[in-house]
Each structure stands twice: as structure tokens, then as C-alpha cells.
Structure 1
Amino acid sequence: MTAATGAAGGSGSTGATGRRASSAAASPLFDRLSATTWIDVAVLTALSLVAVAGFEPAFGHYAFAAAAVGGIVVGGGVALLGRLFRLSWPLTVVIALAAYFLLGTPLALPGQALYGVLPTLDSLSGLVLGAVFGWSDAVTLQAPLEAPPYVAVVPYVAGWLVSLVSVTLAVRWLPRLRHRSAGRAAVLLAGPAALLLAAILLGTRDPFFAGVRGVLFAAVALVWLSWRRGRFARDRVETDAGVRRRRLLGGAAVILGAVAVGALAGSLLAPPAASRFVVRDQITPPFDPLDYPSPLAGFRKYTKDLQKTKLFTVTGLKQGQVVRLATMDSYDGIIWSVAAPGTDTDASGAFELLGSTIPRPPLFTAGGTSTASIDVLGYSDVWLPTLGYTSTLTFDSFQGQDPRSTVRVNTATGTAAVTSGVRDGLSYTVGATAQKVPNDRSLAKVPPAKLTLPPVTNVPDVVSAKAEEYAGSADTAIQKLRNIERSLKSLGYLSHGRASDPVPSRAGEGADRMTDLLSESPMVGDQEQYASAFALMARRLGYPTRVVMGFAPKVTGSTTTVTGDDVTAWDEVAFEGVGWVPFFPTPTKTDAPKNQTTKPKLEPQPQVRQPPPADPRADDLLTPVKTKDNDPKGKASTFQLPAWAWVVLGVVGIPLIAYFVPLLLIAALKRRRRKRRETTGPPDRRAAGAWDELTDGYAELGLTPPERATRLQTASALAQQSAAQNLPVPGDTLQDLARHVDAAVFDGSVVTEERIEHAWTTADETLAEATKAAGPLRARLAAFRYRRARR
């Protein structure tokens, strides 16, 4: 019986072993995932999709969908494959990175791919730049985000990373223990929630179904957590199928009702868009126009120094078309300048890094379109010459830093700037749309636009008086502005202040220059003064006006060469629903008459002999001058050092001052400390001062005297540290000095001057030997240290 049983048992055991062996031999190459794990992966993927939908306002037109969804699929797919094929997590990470670069090109950067699929050097570098720098560019670009191309990598890398981490945790970490499963599942929600938050912060003030997405995200997450808790609860009780069915249907009805009510309430009760927090509204654009000189302040540089210099060539310029350089709407009584960043979007300082397609201005009526190619020659500045209102901008060739990453555009003014600089070798193609300008009869019925522009300050009183005088009794805004324009052109004369001009003209557009221009007769100036005067008078009348600087070359063929003599300036006034209408108040007459001074009549002379009269013309040429101004000694006193001498003084003098001033100050403190210890107080205190001076000197050399110890203990510690640091100071010397000072302080005998002098002499000799042995570098460092021993 036993044998049979044993035989049977052995046979059964052998059969079982054989089955296990055969089963192991026939096991598949990958693991199978439970249905619960597949549900977890599906829920996390759905939540990630709901989250990435929030990128739509920033990228627009669902252009991000392929990159965002592709990133989620790539990251989650690699995580699943790594678990199914039992790959280690380091190997899974390597495969995920390879998939990121291999599939990222067709998904996020198809325009830089070879045959639309294969990676290139540009696409691979774009995937790296987008993952690192795309986030910062995304909050400074104006929506919709289109360029630089690597900005499209942001939703791709966000979806890839969140899906990779979330799915990896769901298939590797979550199934290990079923206890506290709901809590572990809640941790996995951090990834999709972070993706949802990122889409909100990188978006705009116009959300994409914010209420619906928020309620749907919360409902799916809560249902999933509740399901996992109910499925793996310890105290689960079995119920029949009918009860489970009713519970499931009831829960589904509650969820659907919550989603519907929440979406409706979220849409109706949502706060206004102005209160929505997005990062792009809190980030100051990287380009600050106030860091650079005002363009109009350098107007005379073009008319004098660069008059015949070839600045750039324009291919495709039409007859009568002007080149726009910079727009200014801020005046402080000294210069017209571009407004500071962070001002109203209608102002000239709101520069942003834009995409390849630039939106139209907020106040604009489209006219004709044109495309021109510009090659920079002798021009050098940050302001980029453009035509009209730029709609497209592509750089063909450049030297140095890539301008595509440093170009900033103001859509309201049509002005562009390159923070890395516009210089020789830069070639670019600009597509522009001109402002359609109605005739004056049509504008007579149009009021000026209501815009918030930077204020003008320190305006001279003569501007107000002349504004009323020149505007006359016209009834409409356009007629008043035309009257001011005609008055300046008819009463003024043009002069750039060159030696060849019939009448000299002073540069500048400050309050004093405006006073001279409008007070003197005749008015003499150039575009800088007349455009400034017109803008101040128009702003005085309450019209939104700005000054534009650019070039007005004469088109002679397909390619036009622009020189400094072509520089000009004009004004633009905003009209409601129309746009910015240009005005050109600069006169063309150059033959200004010279000022004539009427000489007073001669008074009757008394009947006495008078000296011969002097030549009145010579008197007119004389100017009273103080005698001391002509003194040779006075001239000698105005001697100034050349620039190289100031450079030498700065290079040599500043380090010397930085070295010797602290050194002398610390030396003075040390002398004061020594004098106080050596001469102040009773004899025993003066003797003890020698020991304090010695310990302070050792501390300044880098040793560490004990804070609380007797003099003999301190002497022993200093001797040990001196020996360890190769400072040949005998320990007996320190011990003898410590005993000598202790005797002077505690034995109650009379402390003579000889005992005090002996203590100080011994302390000085000991410290001098230690300083000499420490070396010059350590001695110099000690000279910069100051320590006062604690009592």
C-alpha cells in the first residue's frame, strides 16, 4: 500500500515536475498584463489627452495635436513594451530616449525631416533645444506659436515624459501590492495633473473649454480611484449581479450628471478672462527698447556722417514706398523714444518674439502687399529696416548669431528689432502689407481712435499756442491735422545743419529746440524737428500720434541702394476703425532767408568834440568776454588727462585702492588695539594685554586659540598647532610668557614697568618669528584679519 502510494506519489510528482518544466519551456517571451493594469493605462492616457487639449489656445488650429498625442503614445508605448518584454528600467529609459529622437522628427518637426520622416541634424538639435529652451520661448512668443520651429517640441516632450513616467509606474509599481491601491493610484495622477497645469500656464487668457475639461478630468480621476478602492478593499463582500449592475448604472448616472452640471456651471460662472493667470502675461519680453539709444536722437548722424554711406540695398521696393525703421510714442521733454516694455499693447514698446507668420495690427486696414529682399551693407543697429506692417520675415544669410532666435516684432507699430544686432552680411526677405489710407473726405466722418499711449511730458507752452493757431477753426480732426501739416510746410524751411546748407539748423527735439523752432522766424529744421513739433501739437489737441523714423529712397530700378541721405521721419495719427494715417509736415524749401536785425537810430550827439566813431560793423562782431577767460593761466588750468591715462588709472588705481584702503584701515585698528592694551589700565592689565596681543596675532595667522582656557592651556594648544603647521616657535617660550603674565596678574606683587616691557617684548619677538615662518602669503592674509580676544 505504502509502496503503491509512494509509487503513485512519485509518479504524480514527476508528472507535475514535468508539466512545470514543459510549461516553463513553453512560456511566452513577454508577460501578460492583467485587465486592471490595462484599465489603469487607459485611464492615465485619457487624462493626459484631456490635459494636452489645453495647449490649443497657445498653438492654435490644433497644430499641436500630432506632437502632443504622438508624445503620449511614444512614452506610454515604450513603458508598456519594457514591462511586457521584462526589460530593466535603465534599458527602458534608453529605448525611450531613442524613440523620442527617432519618432520626434515626423511628429513634432516634420518640416525639418528628410522625406518628411527621417531625422536630420536640424531636427535632432531642435528636439534638444525645444526640450530645454522651448518652455521659456513659449511664454514670450505671441500666440499662436509657430516659430522658431523647436517650439512645437514643447507639447511633444511634455506628453512623452508624463506618459512614460505614469505608465511605467502603473505597470511596474502599482500592481505589486494591492493594499492601499487607491492611495498609490492617487500618486499616479500627479503626472496628468502637472500636464494639465502646464497647459493652463502656457496658454492665453482665452481658455479652451476650461470648465468641460476640468470637470471631465476630475470625474474620470474620482471614478477611477473609487473603482480601485472598491475592487481591492479588504472588507469586500460579494453581491449578486443585479446589485452590481444597479450600482454601476447609478454611479454612471451620477457622474454624467456631475459632468453636465459642472460643465454648464463652469461655463456660466467662470471668472472673466482678464482674471485668468497665465505665465506669458507675467513675463516681461526679453527686449527692452530703453536699453538702446532713441533712434530719432541719431537722426543727424545719418544726414552728416553717413550721408553718402551705402547702408543697405532693397530689391523689390516700389516707387514712393518708404522703409520703416522705428516708431516712437513717448516724449519726456528731451527726446522721442520707444516706450518701455510692459505698457499697453497699442504702445511702441510691446515687443515679442513671433512666429514665421506675424499677425496683423489690432488697428489696421489692409492695403497693398509687397515683398522685398534687403541686404545690409554699412548699416549697424538693433532696429531692422522693414516695409509697412510686416507679415512674414525670413532670414536668408547672416554672420554670427542666428537672428531668428533674437528678432522681436511689435505688431502694433510694424517695427522689428534684432537684439543680436543688424550688421553687414545680413540678408532677409520681408513680406509687408501697407496701411490703406482713405481720402480726407472719408476721414472727415471718422473720429480719432481711443488708444492708451504713453504720456508726453515737459512740453513747452509755445506748442499749445501754435497748435491752436495752426489748427484754425476747422470742425473735423482730419482738417485740423491737415492745417497743422500745411502750416509747418509753408512757414518752415529745411536744413540738416550741414556746411552746404544756406541756413544752419540745430539738432535735437527737446523742449528748448521746439521753443526755438516755433518762436523764431523763419522756422528752420529738418524731419527730426518738424515731425516732433507736429506730434506734440497733435497730442496737445488730444489725437493719438506717434513719430516714425525710416528712409525714403528714390527707386531707380529693381534694386535700390539706401544711403544716410535718404533718412526721414513722419507722423502717424490713429483713426477709429481705419488705422494709422501718415502725415509728412517737413517742408521742402531750403532757401531760408537770413535773419535781419534792425539797427536802432543814432541819438543826437552833444555839441562837443567827440573821438572818431568806431566802425559799427566791427562793434556788431564783438562779444563781451571776461578777461580771466583769456588768461593763459586759465587755459592751463583746463588741462585734461587723455583717455588712455584714465584707462591706466582705472586699471592700476582701482586694484591699488581695493588693496591698500582695507589694509590701512585694519592696520589702524590694530595700532589702536595695541596702544589701548599697552597704555590703558593698571599695570597688571597692561601686562595681560601682551598675552592678548599674542593670541590675537596667532589667530590672525590662522591658528585657533581656545576660547575658554587658562593661559598655560592656551600656550600648550598654540604650541601644538604651531608644530603641526611648521611654525618654529618653542613651546617653552609660550609657557614662560604665560607664567610671567599669570604672576603679574595673580601674585599680588607690584608690577613694574620692567615686567610689563618684558612681557610685551617677548610677545612681539614670538609673534614676529611665527609671522616670518608662516611665509609672505600667509603674512599678507594675516594683515587683512582683525581679531580681538574675548575676556
Structure 2
Amino acid sequence: MRAAPVPVALVVLVALSAVVLGRVYADPLLTRLMVGAAAGSVLVSVAARRLPSWQVAPLSVAALAGWTLLSLRLAASHAALPGGLGEVAADAAGNAIPRLLTAMIPVQPTPDTVLLPVVAAWLAGLTAAEVALRAGRVLLGYLPPALLYAGALYVVGPNAEPAVGPTVLFAAVAAAGLAATGRPAGADAADPVAGGTPAVRAAVRLRPAVASAGGLAVVVALAALLAPVVAGQVDDHPVDPRRYVEPPRVETLDENPLIRISGWALNPDQRLLDVRTVAGSTGGGPPRIRLAVLSDYDGVTWRVGATYRNAGRILPAVEPAPGATTDVVRQEITVADLTGRLLPAVPTPREVGGARVAYDPASGTLIRPEGLAPGLRYDVSSVRERPDPNLVATANVPAGDAVARVLRVPDGAPEQVRRLATQLAEENGAPYARADAIATFLAEHYRVTADAPSGHAYPNLTFFLFGPRNGGGQRGTSEQFAASFAVLGRLAGLPTRVVVGFAPKADGPVRAADAYAWPEVLFEGVGWVPFDPMPRPDSEPRPVEEDFRPQPEDPPPSEVPAPTGEPTATPPAAGSAPDRARGGPGTPVLVGGGVGGLLLLVGAVLAALATMRRRLTRSRLERGDPGGRVAGAWRELTDALRLAGRPVGDELAAAEVAERARHALTEAHAASGAATTGDAATTVTGDAATTVAGDAVAVAGGAVDELAGLVNQLAFAPGTMTPGEADRAAALASAYGDALRDARPRWRRLWWRVHPGPLRWRR
């Protein structure tokens, strides 16, 4: 009995680490498993105290393996994870540390988030028991539980309130264990009062017991009183170890699934999912299934921009908006041909079973870090909100830093798009009226086509909104409709985002034809409200010009004032010829003045065109972010080909455009070289002219290939362009344009500089 307090103290000290760490877990399963590990490790050492020391460690490790496997099985069952025990254990062993440090708070007790704490608790208990009980070094035996306790505090970091109570209890238990160790057996034989009467012996032993109890009480009281005061003097928050571990990452198709809409539209029968609604109301039709929420736009691509944290079965709850009606929808989803990592679910998911997931609470987007695979089956319970339409119609929109992300409009927004947004905002004052006006404008003036090319950068949206109908403009997929709504909404002061998902017509297969993108607007006190800018079936779109006429930048000339006098029935008699001659200039002067005025007008127009062309080139090559400048350089190259009579379509890849550009330059210089050789006034021979032309073709051809490589990098790795690469793209585009222009006849070179085509062609 004399040695019993030490094992008990060790179990309590290790268990207190479980209490501290359990504060960031969703339920007490981890605490129970760690307490079991603490008790098991100490009891094994106590039971094997008569065995040689070298036999205790293997025996305890074998018991550790059994308790760990039991803990993993309990955690897997608790989280409803599929797979055998071996598969679960291997996955947890390989990913325990990064998943624990990237898990979302509160942490769900899953195999990968309980493995490390359980093993650490067992090893701390084993080491402490061997040092304190077998070696008799009680104070040194407290070191492993103290290190485990400090590690638990570090992992929790600033994600929970200060653990004042457990810390005070830790110190009290440690002091009690030291005070209760007593003297070893056999010491009474050497005790000078051992031969005294029982009363004398009791009095002698009572004094150190009272002193120990009093000292323990003083230590505990000081810790309880001074610990909060000392902690309050510390201004810095604890370091969060999660900032040192990178959360799960996704690839480009998962970061911007909006670009997949056009591909799915071309393969409408492709089977992506199978859905079965287990519970929940289906009033108003089957619910939309959300794949991803895209909140960030840089003028080229929409991106999710999420920070995914490993989550368990239960996801964080979000309070519904006031006045909104909610219902729980539970579905069983089986993956077919859908690829990537994004996990479809009805918004907003609250519980996921059958798959390990990572979650972004800001957007509600789910991923499966291992990626989707055919046959993957999982069930998801979601809380579907329906906002009160009476509140939406009168609600305002939030502003400030909290929503700056969904209000940001990147530099370089086309002027036509800005004017359209301004026109729609001026005609509709309330936020909901503005959003509804944008949706109505898009639905009434544009056409849905499955073969529309993918793209939602500024040039793509400008062509979609204002391009000629007979040239492919004013038609698109839900990608262009949703992206146009979101950009116009932000220009009109509305916080918007784009959502990609599916709109199934019933339970069963979800095919590529059900893929859909829609915009959402954030209203104060209501939340995110979806809008539908898609045209109604079989509706004929009206011409854009009927409802939108771009206002000129300069004010129009004033109209001729109306006459003030009443017109007479008979006009006054005309004066004689001499009178007319005396009253004004003669015919030669009028003709000469008219010709001169016409020449001045033509010159002014040409000068204005040249100035506007130079401004356009500078805006493309010198302004905006690096990605926009590279796109502008590519537009300069395609405009040069069009000016040379060699236009290229948007359906061609960058390498194919580069190939055509080289052929155009070769043929142009070949024709120019033949003309130069036959010119009597030339100062070089035909061979020399051919050599010069060949050098120009080689240099400019290499420039085209390098520029095509930069464009491919922009398309497949957006956001990675550097200012140096943008400067290089501008130089390459200028070199090619100069080489192609110089191969033209002199008068065509002059016309090249003032041609109005690039000003009205799609940018």
C-alpha cells in the first residue's frame, strides 16, 4: 500500500494530458482511449515488476499493439469509415501527424487523429512507471507525463481556453505523489525511535505527515492563486502548430471546375454520379448538388481559393439565416465517371459517412484528399436553406473588409462591361432589383449552346456579351452566364460568387447534361441567394442593341435649335446673282475650302485611329497583372495575323496558331523578297534580300513559339506568371508584329498602323 500512490499519480498525470487534448475534439472518445492507454501502460509495469527489466518493454509494446488496434477499430466504427482494420491502420500510420495538425477544429476522433495521442500516452506511462517504480526515481519519472502534457498544450494552441484547472491539478497530483512515497521498507530497524512506545512512534511519524500535507496545501493554493495572474501577464497568444503544416492541396481542375462545364456539355450522356435521396423533402424538385464554390476572380479564371482542413463525420454547424426555412436532406451518392477530388453534396453538408473528407467552412466545399474513384459510395446529410423572399426583396448587401473578397473587381475590366453594369445599376436602386435586372438581361438577350467554347476571362466575357451573333458572340454555356452575372454584379456593387454543381431532374443517374453553374449574391441577414440568369427554353433572345447602347465617351454635339418664328406659306424671293456674289464667297473658294476641310477631317480621323491603336497596344502590353499582359500580347499577335489577312479561330490551340503564324510570316517575306529583287532602285541583290528575309523569319518564328509556350503556361498554371515573363511576352509579340508589318507594301504598312479593326474586334 505504501507504493500505491505513485502508480495512481502516474495514471492521473498522463490522463490529464488526455483531458487537455480532448478540449479540441468533437466528443470524448479520444479522452477515453488515452486514459485507457495511461492505465494499461502503468498496470503492465506494476504487474511485471518482478520480471527482469529487459522483458518488460517487449511485453508492454505487445499490449500497446493490442490497445492501438482496438482504438483504431473503435475510431473507424465511430466515424463510419469503410475498409478493413489493416487498411485503416496503414493509412493512419502514414498520415497521423499531418492530418492531426491540419484537422479542422473541433477534431473528429478518427483513426488518423487518435493514433498518435494513444501511442504517446502509452509510451509516456511505460517510461514513467519504469523510472519511478523500478528505479525508485519518482521525480525523474514525472518527466515523461510532463512532456506529454506540454505537447498536448502545444497541439491545442490558441484553439481552446487556457487549461488553468488541469494544470493546477497536475501540480497537486505530482506533489501528492512525492509526499506519499514514504521511506522504503526496513527503515524502521534503523529508526532511533523504533524501540519506543507506540505513542512515541505515532507522534514522531505524525509530524512529517502533517508537514507534508501543509506544504502540499500551500503549493496547491499558490498555484491556484498565482497561475491565472501570471498567465494574464502574457500578451502573446500560443503558437498554432497548424500554420507550419500545409493543408491538403488540389489540382487546377478542382481549383477551377468552371472550365469543365463546356466539356460536359459536349458529352451530355456521360454518367457522373448515381444519387438516391434517403430522407428529406423534395418539394420544388430535386435539390441542386453543389460541387464547388468559386469566390476569387483575377480577370482570367474563377478559383475556389479554399483552405481545406481534414474533417471527421460531423462537420461544423452554421446557424441558418433569420426567417429561412430549413430541411434536412440525406442522400447516398455513388461515383461513376466523375474525376478529381471535389466531393458533391447538397448545400450545406453537416455529416458525411463512408469517405474521409477535408472541408472548407468558408465556402462549404468538400474534397476527398485521396481523389474520387469509380464505385466510391458515401452518404451525406445536408441542411438545405430557403431564404424568405420577403426579406430578400428589401435586404441590403454587406460591405467592408469582411466581404472584400467577393466584391473585388480585378483591373482591366472592359469599358463596355463597365457601362452595361452601370446602366443596369442606375435603372435599379435596391440590391435585389439590381441582381434581378442583371439576371433578366442575360436571360432575355443571350442563347445557350452546348458547343460554345470554354473561357470566362475578360476577353471571353466581352465577346459573349457584345460579340456579333453571326460570328459566335452572344451565346454560351452556363459557364459564361454565371461568370458574366458575377462580374456585372460586382461592378454594380453586389458581393457575388459562382457555384458549380449539378441540377438533376430526379433520383438516379446524374449525367454531364445536368452539370450547371449558377451565381449567388450575399444579402445582409439572409445569406447567399442563388439567381438564375439562364434563358427560358424555346425563347428567342432579343438583340442586345435594343436595350443597351454604349454611350460615347465625349458628349454629343448639341442639336440645331428649332426656329422661333412661324414658317410662312410662301418663301421669300431669292436675291439676284450679283447680290448673292456680293453676300458670300464664290464657288472656287467654297470648293477649295470643302476639299481642305475634308482633308483635315480625314487626317484628324487617321491621327485619332493611330492614337487609339497605340493606347490599345500599351494597355495590353504594359498594364494589368502579368497574366493579363501575356494574354494581351497573344491578342496583339492574333490581331497582326488578322491584319495580314490570315485570321485564326478561337478553337485552335496555341501551338497551332504559332504554326500558322510562322507560315504567314514566311510567305509574306517571300513575296516581299521577290518584289525587292525585281526593284531597279534596290541597293541589295536578290540573294541578300532573301538572306535578310530568312533571318527575320527565323527570329520572328522563334518568338512565336516562345510566346505560345507562355500562353500555355498561363492557361494551365494561372497565377504563376512573373513580370519578367510578361515583359518578355510583350517584346515577342512586338517583334512578330513588326516583322509581319515590314513585309507588307509601303501603303499597306501605313494602313496597318491606323486600321480600326483591332479597336472593334473582340479583345
Instruction: Flag whether TM exceeds 0.5 (same fold).
Output: yes
Q: Could you state the TM-score of these two structures normalised by the residue count of structure 1?
A: 0.60
Unaligned runs of 5+ in 2: 194-202, 546-641, 647-662, 672-693, 703-763
Q: Does 1:534 align with 2:488?
A: no
CA positional deviation for 1:584:
1.6
The residue matched to 2:28 in structure 1 has which SS?
A: coil
Partners of 2:131 and 2:93 in 1: CA distance? 23
- Inter-partner Cα distance in structure 2 for 1:442 and 1:633: 64
Match for 1:53 among 9, 15, 19? Answer: 19
- Within-5 A mapping of 1:319-718: 319-339=285-305, 349-361=306-318, 367-395=326-354, 404-405=355-356, 407-442=357-392, 444-445=394-395, 447-448=397-398, 450-451=402-403, 453=405, 455-458=408-411, 459-472=413-426, 474-490=428-444, 492-496=445-449, 498=451, 505-520=452-467, 523-555=474-506, 558-559=507-508, 561-588=509-536, 591-592=540-541, 625=645, 631=667
**Displacement of 1:128 after TM fit?**
6.4
Counterpart for residue 247 of structure 1 = 211
2:291 & 2:91 partners in 1: Cα distance? 31
CA gap of 1:107–1:526, structure 2 versus 1, over 3 A, is: closer
Bigger RCO (CA 8 Å, 6+ sep): 2
* Other structure's SS at 2:342 match: strand
Distance 2:375 2:670 in 1: 51
Q: Which amino acid aligns with 2:61?
A: L
- For the pair 1:164 / 2:126, whether they are aligned, the reply is yes
Say yes or no: does 1:42 pair with 2:3.
Answer: no
Offset at 1:221? 3.8
Question: Does the CA contact (< 8 Å) of 1:50 and 1:217 recur in 2?
Answer: yes
Q: Identify the match of residue 315 of structure 1 among 270, 276, 280.
A: 276
Distance in 1, matches of 2:66 and 2:83, equals 12
Give the aligned partner of residue 147 of structure 2: 194
Q: What is the CA deviation profile of residues 668-700 of structure 1, one whole-angstrom value per residue up to 9, with x for unaligned ones?
A: xxxxxxxxxxxxxxxxxxxxxxxxxxxxxxxxx
CA–CA separation in structure 2 for the residues paired with 1:423 and 1:103: 32
Distance 1:245 1:384, change over 3 A: closer
Q: Distance in 2 between matches of 1:488 and 1:132?
A: 51
Matched pairs, number: 535
Aligned equivalent of 2:240, options 278, 283, 286: 278
Residue 282 of structure 1 and its aligned partner are, at CA, apart by 3.4
69-78 or 543-552: bigger deviation: 543-552
Paired-residue identity, %: 23
Give the drift of 1:129: 5.4
Matched ranges for 1:45-124 at <5 A: 45-83=11-49, 86-104=50-68, 109-110=73-74, 122-123=84-85
Distance verdict in 2 for CA 1:103–1:378, change over 3 Å: closer
Structure 1 position 224, deviation (Å): 5.4
SS of equivalent to 1:574:
strand
Task: Kindly indicate whether the alpha-carbon contact (under 8 Å) linking 1:105 and 1:113 is maintained by their aligned counterparts in 2.
Answer: no
CA 366–162 in structure 1, closer or farther in 2 if over 3 Å, else same: farther
Task: After TM superposition, give the deviation of residue 514 of structure 1 in Å.
Answer: 2.4
In 1, Cα distance between equivalents of 2:7 and 2:498:
60
TM-score by length of 2: 0.62
Give the Cα separation in 2 of the matches to 1:121 and 1:414.
26
Using a 3 Å threshold, how does the CA distance of structure 1 residues 427 and 64 change in structure 2: closer, same or farther?
A: closer
Q: Structure 2 vs 1, CA of residues 225 and 295 (structure 1 numbering), >3 Å: closer, same or farther?
A: same
Amino acid in structure 2 at the alignment position of 1:572? E
Residues 437 and 237 (structure 1), Cα distance of their counterparts in 2 relative to 1, 3 Å cut: farther
Match of 2:724 in 1: none
**What's the secondary structure of 2:115's corresponding residue?**
helix
Matched residue, 1:207? 160
In the superposition, relative to structure 1, how do residues 580 and 90 fare at CA in structure 2: closer, same or farther (>3 Å)?
farther
Distance 1:293 1:206, change over 3 A: closer
Contact 2:75–2:110 under 8 Å retained in 1: no
Corresponding residue for residue 663 of structure 1: none
1:548: Cα distance to partner? 0.5
| SS across alignment from 2:12 | helix
Distance 1:473 1:268, change over 3 A: farther
Structure 1 residue 72: Cα displacement: 0.4
Question: Which is worse superposed, 316-325 or 51-60?
Answer: 316-325
Q: What residue identity is the alignment partner of 1:414?
A: G
Contact 1:70 1:107 in 2 (8 A): no
Where 2:368 maps in the other structure, the secondary structure is strand
Q: For the Cα contact (< 8 Å) 2:5–2:177, is it kept in 1?
A: no
Alignment CA distance shift 1:45-1:545 (3 Å): same
C-alpha distance in 1 between matches for 2:459 and 2:170: 65
- Alpha-carbon deviations, 1:378-405, whole Å to 9, x = none? 333332222222222233xxxxxxxx45
> CA, structure 1 residues 473+625, in 2 after alignment: closer, same or farther (shift >3 Å)?
closer
Compute the displacement of 1:46 (Å).
2.4
CA drift at 1:75: 0.5
Change (3 A) 1:478 1:105: same
Distance in 2 between residues matched to 1:297 and 1:121, nearest whole Å:
34
1:218 CA displacement: 3.6
**What's the offset of the Cα at 1:244?**
3.5
What one-letter code is carried by the residue in structure 2 that aligns with 1:359? P
Residue identity in the other structure for 1:256: V
- Give the aligned partner of residue 137 of structure 1: 99
- Amino acid in the other structure paired with 2:40: V
1:358/1:390 contact within 8 Å kept: yes
CA distance in 2, matches of 1:81, 1:41: 11
- Say which SS state the counterpart of residue 333 (structure 1) adopts: coil
Q: Say whether the 8 Å CA contact 2:131–2:140 is kept in structure 1.
A: no
Query: What are structure 1's unaligned runs of at least 5 residues?
Result: 1-33, 115-119, 175-183, 340-348, 396-403, 499-504, 597-621, 641-791
* Conserved 8 A contact 1:356-1:392: yes
- 1:532 match: secondary structure: helix
The CA distance in 1 between the partners of 2:252 and 2:51, in whole Å, is: 57
- Cα distance change on mapping 1:628 and 1:73 into 2, 3 Å: closer
* Alpha-carbon contact 1:325-1:551 (below 8 Å) kept: yes
Q: Please say which structure displays the higher CA radius of gyration.
A: 1
What is the DSSP-based 3-state SS (H/G/I as helix, E as strand, rest coil) of the residue aligned with 2:420? Answer: helix
After superposition, the C-alpha distances for 1:731-756 in whole angstroms (9 at most, x for unaligned) are: xxxxxxxxxxxxxxxxxxxxxxxxxx
Coordinate RMSD, CA, aligned: 4.1
Task: Give the secondary-structure state (helix, strand or coil) at the position aligned to 1:554.
Answer: coil
